[in-house]
Amino acid sequence: MNPPATPFSVSTATSENHTSTIALHGYLDAHTAPTLEDEIDRVLASGCNRIVVDFASLDYISSAGLGVFMVFIEQVRAHGGDIKLAAMRPSVFTVFDLLGFPVLFTITPSVTEAVMAFPTFDGE
Amino acid sequence: MTALLVDSAARRTISILLLVFGGLLTVARLVVELVWFIGSEREAGESLGIDALLAILSIAIVAILVGLVLLAVAPRMGKNFTSEGVTSWVTTYAVTTVTLLFVGVVTPFYVLRATPQDVVTVIVSNALGIGVFAITAALSGFLYYALSVGRSRRARVVHVVVALHILAIWGCSLKSDDSLFVKVLVVLLFVSGSILIASSIKRQRWLVALPTPTKVRLISGTFFGAIAAFAVFSTLAFSSNSSTTQSVALFVPSSDIVPATLNLFGSVALLRLLGAVIAALPNSGVVLRRSNEVESIMQLNRLVMETRNHDQLFSTVTRLAADVCNAHGSWVELYGPSGILTIKGEYLVRADFVQVLHTDHGFRALALDNDQPFVIQSVDDARGRRNAIAGINSVIFVPVIDEGQRVGTLVVFSTVEFGLDGDDVRLLTAFGDQIRMFLEQHRLQTANAANERLQQEFRVARSIQMSLLPPRPLRNDRVDVYSVMIPAHEVGGDYYDYVHFPNGNTGIVIADVSGKGIPAALYMATLKGAVLTAMRVAEGPADLLRRLNTTLYKNMRPGIYITMSCVEFREPSATVRLARAGHVPTLVVHGQTVSSYRPNGLAIGLADASVFDATLEEIDIPIHTGDVVVLTTDGVAERRNAQMLELGLDSVVEILASTNVSTAEDVVRTLLTTLHDHGASTAPHDDLTIVAIRCSVSHNLDATAFRNVPSSLTTIP
């Protein structure tokens, strides 16, 4: 038997400071990770590599879900951008924390802080 | 009685007995007549006794005849006519009857006062009398049977009505006065009986399916039978001076009207049957065609279910298609990938014939033109020029479909223009469906076999993976290890092992590859190899993890990572050294206290050596005898229940603290029970591993002794 169906959705909004905020909802696991991958691909294709991921509505994240950020981070940073993670619930943060993600990613309590953590856009 | 009639051997015995007995009675009656009328020159009516004896003998003989007929008819009751049965019976009847009438005509005699005058008259009259009663009995049997076919038992009241008619007519004939009323009544009874019989013989559906020649034989048989029966009727009814009529009257006095009536009714029944056969005659071609169609489709259907051989199926399809459609040839062409054309089951087609056709682009276009089965009745008309392709003048194309794709064509052709029509298309469409079913079935069977193979490979993979884990618990005077690993699927990404450091200390690693199933299992196997290599040079847990990250980081797909913990049992310092690469915390049970340790460290595969090595911490945990070190993977704390609620690390700590555990096995069993209770109704969604190590510390122990701890389970082969 497989785990129960995991409803998951993403929505992207353009924020100030030339960032895109991707908001996650529901369960992010091996089944739903491709949805997020597609979304990040789409945002990158649109020319934006300053990404904030809003975890406020994310209920659960699995190892495969975490892997998504690892897939993109090198490419994004190579282009001078970054992926910042924001507004995690404690249970979700624990997962990131255990793996040592705080060493690799900027993780902020709120989306605004994440947006502001990006250097001022130089109009590149 | 019924059982006797059903048993054919008994029926035969009884028939023979009846025949012998009837023969004896006949001889007896003959002798009495000869002695009484000829020898003693007496007349009928002189002795009531002799008259009664003759009458009784006659009636007994008639009864035996009726009995024989019943025996012959009984086994056929409830069954339908067969054309062979009817034809042979009616022919025998007609021939016998005509013979009898002929004998009656060529041996004229006149019987005065119901007394035969000479030996010839005695013999001939007896023969004719018995003969007429015999054919009448046989015809009555036929009539009885014909009125029963296709009717329920209740509906057979018609038999009674017909019998009443016969009795009434006989009754009328016994009245000596020739009043007009009686004559009209008799005629009316003849007419109403005939109408009743003609209208009661129906549902002759068996006729429809007969081929024309059989029907023609039936027509001639019933026709002559009816004529013969009517001749007997008219002889007995209208020619009272004929030898035949007189013989009947001599044999059973005042009874000649009964065989006359029965023959009339029999004649009507035969005429009715004749009408039915004539009415069914025009269908013969259609019926033959339909029965061939049904037969061919049934045959194909059986083959589809039984065979897995493509060639056999296609050759049967083409043979049946050509036969049933009266076509001159047929083949199945299959379009392989990259346009390779394969011809299957050529029937009446020369080897090079199809190739010749396919060099004709017009023909190729025609075949592929339409995705529905279609007929070209005249190839000339279709191509708009007088140029039949290699003798093909009409042709049907039926697409062969598999998985919604056009994979071929069933081609059936005739060398005759308009030799094939829409009716053929209808049948061949069904053939196309059969081919489709066959291909579908074949595909499913193949897929099934592939699936079986995959399942088998999974089982092998599982056993291989299990063999990558330590084969038996490690137990000595220092440590008592008990462990369990349960993959969520057949194989998983969890791993634990005993390591043997160069400094002689024993350690244990536990790891969890991100993701599940085969990808995780492949990394797990890779990890085992890396651990075996790294432990030979590693100075301790942290060094081992660093070496593993350095080795694996560049060789792992982005997004895949491994969390791992390593403990080293350090003696004589009575500590456990722990390093953690993103793994879940390590628990140490000390009596009622459970401590959780999570030194810093990134998961393996997340960052290169510069970041990973700088982040990684190593801590020493003091231990006492009886302490249990518990290593798990996240499948334990993250075990969900039906409400998707995780068990949580805090619950695990609480349970271990509240349960009085003394052995490693106790710890594992307690946790398994807890996990089972928590997620009872759900399948585990993640691989799950628990390794519990009960430690014994002896401060007096000499360091060399500890170095000799057998940890050969992970030694390199």
Name which of B466, B397, B211, B434 is nearest B317 in CA terms.
Answer: B434
pLDDT category, B694, cuts 50, 70, 90?
very high
pLDDT number for residue B705 = 39
Q: How sure is the predictor about B706, in pLDDT bands with cuts at 50, 70 and 90?
A: very low
Q: Which of B143-147, B493-497, B608-612 has the lowest mean pLDDT?
A: B143-147
| Best to test chain B binding among A8, A41, A70 (most B CBs inside 10 Å) | A70
Angstrom distance (rounded) from CA B29 to CA B251? 10
| DSSP 8-state symbol, B378 | -
pLDDT in tens, B252-271: 877 788 888 888 999 998 89
Would you tell me the crossing angle of helices B180-200 and B119-148 to the nearest 10 degrees?
50
| A120 contact B CB<8A | no
Count of CB atoms within 10 A of residue B307's CB?
Answer: 15
Q: Do B583 and A98 touch (CB under 8 A)?
A: yes
Is the separation of the CB atoms in B524 and B492 below 8 Å? yes
Q: Which of B588, B616, B576, B584 is nearest to B600 (CA)?
A: B616
A30: nearest CA partner in chain B: B515
| pLDDT at residue number B707 | 43
pLDDT in tens, B301-357: 888 888 888 888 999 999 999 888 888 889 888 888 777 778 888 887 766 667 667
pLDDT tens-digit map of B458-489: 899 999 999 999 988 888 778 899 999 988 88
Residue-range domain boundaries for chain A: 9-115
User: For residues A87 and A64, what is the distance between their CA atoms, to the nearest angstrom?
Assistant: 20
Helices and strands (H, E) in chain A, number of each type: 5, 5
CA angle (A33 as vertex; A24, B551 as ends), nearest 5: 120
pLDDT number for residue B4: 55
Within an 8 Å CB–CB cutoff, is residue A90 touching chain B?
no
User: Pick the residue with more confidence: B115 or B529?
Assistant: B529
**Chain B contact set for A101 (CB, 8 A):** 606
Of A48, A46, A42, the residue nearest A19 (C-alpha): A48
pLDDT in tens, B393-425: 888 999 988 888 888 889 898 888 888 888 888
Residue B392 is classified by DSSP as B
Please give the share of chain B, as a percent, with pLDDT higher than 70.
91
- Across B6-10, B56-60, B365-369, which has the greatest mean pLDDT? B56-60
Secondary structure class of A12 (helix, strand, coil): strand
Q: At a CB cut-off of 8 Å and minimum separation 6, what does B697 contact?
A: B571, B574, B623, B624, B625
Residues of A with Cβ-Cβ distance to B520 under 8 angstroms: none
Q: Which amino acid is at B682?
A: T
The nearest alpha carbon in chain B to A68 belongs to: B559
Q: Quick check: B501 pLDDT over 70?
A: yes
Inspect the interface and report whether the beta carbons of A70 and B563 lie closer than 8 Å.
no
Strand partners, B397: B374, B411
Q: Which of chain B's residues have a Cβ under 8 Å away from the Cβ of A58?
A: none
* CA distances for B61 relative to B130, B248, B299, B415, angstroms: 8, 13, 54, 67
Closest C-alpha among B634, B648, B638, B626 to residue B692: B626
pLDDT digits (tens, 9 = 90+) for B5-48: 567 788 888 889 999 999 999 998 888 888 888 887 787 777 78
- Among A32, A98, A101, A104, most B C-beta atoms within 10 A, so best to mutate, is A98
C-alpha torsion B246→B247→B250→B255, nearest 10: -80
**C-alpha–C-alpha distance, residues B507 and B315, integer Å:** 70
C-alpha angle B414-B416-B418 in degrees, rounded to nearest 5: 95
Neighbours of B360 (CB within 10 A): 15
Pick the residue from chain B with its C-alpha nearest to A94: B584
CA distances from A71 to A67, B304, B550, B561, B607 (A): 6, 51, 19, 11, 12
Could you say which of 3.40.50.1100, 3.30.750.24, 3.40.5.90, 1.25.50.10 is the CATH number of the domain covering A9-115? Answer: 3.30.750.24
Q: Which residue of B has its CA nearest to A69?
A: B559
Chain B positions touching A77 (Cβ under 8 A) are: none
A70 contacts B558? CB cut-off 8 A: yes
Residues of B in contact with A1 (CB under 8 A): 682-683
The minimum CA-CA distance between B583 and chain A, rounded to whole Å, is 6
Among chain A residues, the shortest Cα distance to B559 is held by A67
Contact residues, chain A, for B515 at CB < 8 Å? 30, 63-64, 67
A100 → closest Cβ in B558, B603, B644? B603
Q: Tell me which chain A residues have a C-beta less than 8 angstroms from the C-beta of B583.
A: 98
Stretches in chain A below the pLDDT threshold 70: 1-6, 122-124
Amino acid at B684: P
Residue A70 has its nearest CB partner, among B585, B606, B686, at B606
Which backbone phi and psi does B360 adopt, to 5 degrees? -85, 110
Environment class of residue B657 by beta-carbon count within 10 Å: exposed (0-12), middle (13-18) or buried (19+)? Answer: middle
State the pLDDT at residue B708.
Answer: 41
| Distance separating alpha carbons of residues B321 and B326, to the nearest angstrom | 8
Residues β-bridged to residue B618: B579
**B515 → closest Cβ in A3, A30, A70:** A30
The single-letter DSSP state of residue B139 is H
Which one of A1, A70, A103 has the shortest CB-CB distance to B561? A70
Q: Which pLDDT band, with edges at 50, 70 and 90, does B713 fall under?
A: very low
Single out the residue of B142, B276, B270, B266 nearest to residue B202, CA to CA. Answer: B276
Confidence of residue B717 (pLDDT cuts 50, 70, 90): very low
Q: Is A98 on the interface with B (CB under 8 A)?
A: yes
Please give the distance of CA B702 from its chain centroid, rounded to a whole number.
78
Interface ipTM? 0.89
Residue of A96, A50, A80 whose CA lies nearest to B561 = A96
**Which pLDDT does position A37 carry in this prediction?**
93
Chain B CB contacts of A91 under 8 Å are 646
